[in-house]
Structure 1
Amino acid sequence: MLPRHTRRTHAHRQRGLTLIELMISLVLGLIVTGGAISLFIGNREANRTTENLSRMQENSRVAFELMARSLRDAGGNPCGATTVANVLEGSDTTWWSNWADNAIRGYDNNTSSPAVTTGTGAGQRVAGTDTLILMSGDDSGVSIVTHDAPAAQFKVSTTAHGFKDGDILMACDDHLAAIFQTTNASATNVTLVHNTGSSVKPGNCSKGLGYPTLCTALGSGYSFEGNGYIVKLIAEAWFIGYNARGGRSLFRSAPVIDYASPSNLPTVSATEIVDNVTDMQLLYKTRDPANSGGTNDYVTAANITEWSDVVAVNVELTFISNDRISTADGKPTLERKLIHVATLRNRAP
């Protein structure tokens, strides 16, 4: 018999979480998880925004660097000659050979340009955007040793001149520059020929490279001085066009010589330079004839009466991000309008 005061031991029952405790735990877990997800999404969006801004900045550097280089050279040649003869056959019928009109020439918004077609196809100009034609002598070439004008032959300083039959070239010295098409350029000798005839297209209307241009057999006679230069003629058109991916890009068009058959006319090819550029607007600064060394305010192409007076160009390009990113103004992509001003070196005051 157990003692009277002996206590009996009882096993404690196991207890689980109450419903309220479980709900509180779930809520706390959801809050922590939601915070982590929100932080992750925020960081991801910040990274996407930063990445797209960096790409837009890179695109702007490339676009402005290439355009500014062409703008600075527009209308110039290595010799600094201001008088330019042009013996290309039908030089005023194609934009890439018309130096008199197109050393620099801009076209506003919906004004048609001879260099590019406005449309919705790949490589065509976007309606409502400006376009620009620039021409110049290249900055690298070969020195002239002698020039036999009646025979239409140059002797140059090296056989490594890099020129081929059909190349459109510019010869210059201190007094004159002349545009012509080479009819014979061999890598085995130092002779460059600029004869008339149909072996190349468009061809030369005269052997004479003097000024003013006369399209006769001998034309205006002129012999270029030794130590002058011969360079390639650069002609290009800059515009905003549709790319093959359905977006917009900055394009550059230029004539392409058919070296296999130089008797064919050069064709024009458009090259995509930078993507995600949606607009280009241009303003031009001109000399003020009434104020020696002075300039007028920037104006649009429609207000330019004498393109030879243009001394600087204000280029405004609109860039958008590659990815769709929600922005404060409700637009689906980031957008930046950036400006660069380039001065024409050969016309600087």
Structure 2
Amino acid sequence: MSHQHRQRGFTLIEMMISMFLGLIILGGTITAYQAISSVSEQRDNNYKLQDELMYIHRELSSSVKVAKSISIENNDEGSKLILESYSGEDINKIRCPGSDDGSGRIKWITDVDDKWLTCNDQKVMALAAPGITSVRFGDEGDSVCDDAASPCVRVTLKYKPCREEDECDVKTLSFHLASRATSDSDGDP
């Protein structure tokens, strides 16, 4: 008696079906990875944008709150914010970010062509997408600052939360900053 065992492997059709199912699983895995990577990139861009907005607000507010006088110049080439501090103690002098020079007078400039926010000709922040794309100081007929008892400035930031090659709307954030000084003060604050 001879028992003959017949060995059987996979047929060609079974192999093709298993390869097809494997490709579907692999495609789903790649698609999920790309979606997660895209969400992660968007989240990182939003964190970076939030940091930029907070940085500009913090630096401008610290400059404006010790200002004795505020003047604004706007034209097609950009916007200028000129701040003068009280003469007197060095602690009340206005300074540019990262500068030890407390000259008492600083000039914040946004340059449309150069795409930079500068302080006394020192580059502070690039204005590019994703991120803050423009900064404008003041507005004609700004009733909040017109009626204020202390020097005040309106800051309008335009920002784009996505890359230049992606399509998304430019968003606007406006806020007012005021000095601690009153407009009729002559002495130190």
Same fold per superposition (TM over 0.5): yes
Q: Any stretches of 5+ residues in structure 1 without a counterpart?
A: 1-7, 76-102, 111-126, 143-168, 170-231, 254-269, 287-295
User: TM-score, structure 2 length as denominator?
Assistant: 0.71
2:124: which partner in 1? 273
Letter in 1 for 2:43: T
Q: Deviations over 1:235-285 (max 9, x none)?
A: 111122379xxx7332111xxxxxxxxxxxxxxxx1122233321123358
Change (3 A) 1:344 1:324: same
1:252 aligns with 2:119: yes
1:282 aligned partner, one-letter code: F
Aligned to 2:97: none
Task: Using the TM superposition, give the Cα deviation of residue 64 of structure 1 relative to its aligned residue in structure 2, in angstroms.
Answer: 0.9
C-alpha distance in 1 between matches for 2:88 and 2:16 = 78
1:133 and 2:3 matched: no
- Residue 64 of structure 1 aligns with an amino acid whose one-letter code is H
TM-score normalised over the length of structure 1: 0.41
**Which protein shows a greater Rg?**
1
Structure 1 residue aligned with 2:159: 319
Deviations 1:58-87 (A, max 9, x none): 111111111112222222xxxxxxxxxxxx
Q: Is the 8 A contact 2:137 2:153 kept in 1?
A: yes
More helix by share: 2
Partner of 1:109: 75
Task: Count residues in correspondence.
Answer: 170
Q: Note if contact 1:285-1:298 (Cα within 8 Å) is conserved in structure 2.
A: no
Aligned twin of 1:19:
12
Q: For the Cα contact (< 8 Å) 2:152–2:177, is it kept in 1?
A: yes
Check if 1:63 corresponds to 2:56: yes
**1:240 paired residue number:** 110
Instruction: Give the 3-state SS of the residue equivalent to 1:48 in structure 2.
Output: helix
> What SS is found at the alignment partner of 1:13?
coil
Distance 1:325 1:26 in 2: 40
| Aligned-partner SS, 1:34 | helix
Equivalent in the alignment of 2:32: 39
CA distance in 2, matches of 1:298, 1:109: 22
| Equivalent in the alignment of 1:345 | 180
Q: Which amino acid aligns with 1:236?
A: I
Cα distance in 2 for residues equivalent to 1:130 and 1:137: 23
SS at match of 2:122: strand
Report 1:137-152 matches (<5 A).
137=86, 140-141=89-90
**Contact 2:110–2:136, Cα closer than 8 Å, also in 1:** no
SS of corresponding position for 1:316: strand
SS at match of 1:41: helix
Identity of aligned residues (%): 23
5+ residue gaps, structure 2: 94-101, 185-189
